[in-house]
Structures are given as C-alpha cells and as structure tokens.
C-alpha cells in the first residue's frame, strides 16, 4: 500500500490506494511499522468483494490498527453528512492526539483526497489549501470531480 503523507498541523495523515487482497498481510505489516493507528476505507461493499478484501478490517484490527469503513461510490461523495461528519471528527481527534491516520479508496485519488481534505479543514486548514497539500503529496490534482471539490 503506497502511502502519500500530507503536510498536516497535527499527527500524520496519508491518502492511499486500496491494499491488494493477495498482499494484505505484508501491507498491514508495513502499516504497523509506519505506526499507523487508524485506517479508513472508503470502498463500497461491491469493491471490497471484487478486490477480495473481506478480511481487511479483521486483519488490521488483529494487528492493533483501528479500522473504519465509510462506503462512498467511486467518483462520489458521502451519502449522508452526519455519518461522514462523525467519522471525520473521530479521525480529526486522533490526529490532534498525535496519531497516524490513513484514508484509502480504490485508487487513492478522489474519495480519499476528499475525506482527507475535510479532515484538514477540521484542523483549521482552508479548503483550497487542504486540497493543495494533498495534491502536492499525491503528485496529481485532487480531488477528481467538481462535486468532490465542492463537498470539501
């Protein structure tokens, strides 16, 4: 799992593409070595099935990494603001405590960048600056869609 570490005012925040089903144990080991505390997956149930990632949450939890899932359709935004807000607040609090958080979607570009930018705004970073920081870390312009940019 390639991690793209973002300049953040508190803790450590990374965006990433989804782990591979076949290399999950190795990738979780890498996350443990990077001292990652929480992984937020934005994959839908269908994506989890198609990528053989049914065991990802249990594997992460067994390694001492908190796992959260907030399913968002590819190229989409959260369906409900309340659920997203609760998750974003939890991750923001973790960063304020100095912990390390990874947010991933399938490709690590659109959905993960959208949620990471929302987390940064909760830490006091202006929305455009948040997206710019993630773009710098990722090396490509993010998020992917205008709806994602507007949501931040």
Domain count, the chain: 1
Q: What is the CATH number of the domain that holds 132?
A: 3.90.190.10
What does the pLDDT read at residue 80?
A: 77
Task: Write down the catalytic residue from 3, 43, 105, 130.
Answer: 105
Let me know if 122 is a catalytic residue. no
What does the pLDDT read at residue 21?
A: 75
The pTM for the full model equals: 0.95
What does the pLDDT read at residue 30?
A: 95
DSSP string, 12-50: EEEEEEPPPSTTHHHHHHHHHHTT--EEEE---HHHHHH
Structural domain containing residue 109: 4-151
Under DSSP, the state recorded for 131 is: H
Flag residues of the chain having pLDDT under 70: none
């Amino acid at each position: 799992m390639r991690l793209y570490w973002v300049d953040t005012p508190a803790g450590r925040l990374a965006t990433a593409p989804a782990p591979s089903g076949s290399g999950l144990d190795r990738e979780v080991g890498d996350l443990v070595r990077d001292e990652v505390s929480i992984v937020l997956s934005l994959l839908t149930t269908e994506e989890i099935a198609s990528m053989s990632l049914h065991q990802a949450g249990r594997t992460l939890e067994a390694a001492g990494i908190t796992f959260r899932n907030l399913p968002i359709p590819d190229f989409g935004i959260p369906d409900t603001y309340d659920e997203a807000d609760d998750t974003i607040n939890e991750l923001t609090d973790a960063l304020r405590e100095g912990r390390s958080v990874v947010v991933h979607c399938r490709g690590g570009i659109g959905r993960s960048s959208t949620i990471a930018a929302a987390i940064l705004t909760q830490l006091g970073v202006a929305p455009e600056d948040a997206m710019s920081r993630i773009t710098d870390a990722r090396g490509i312009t993010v998020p992917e869609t205008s709806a994602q940019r507007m949501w931040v």
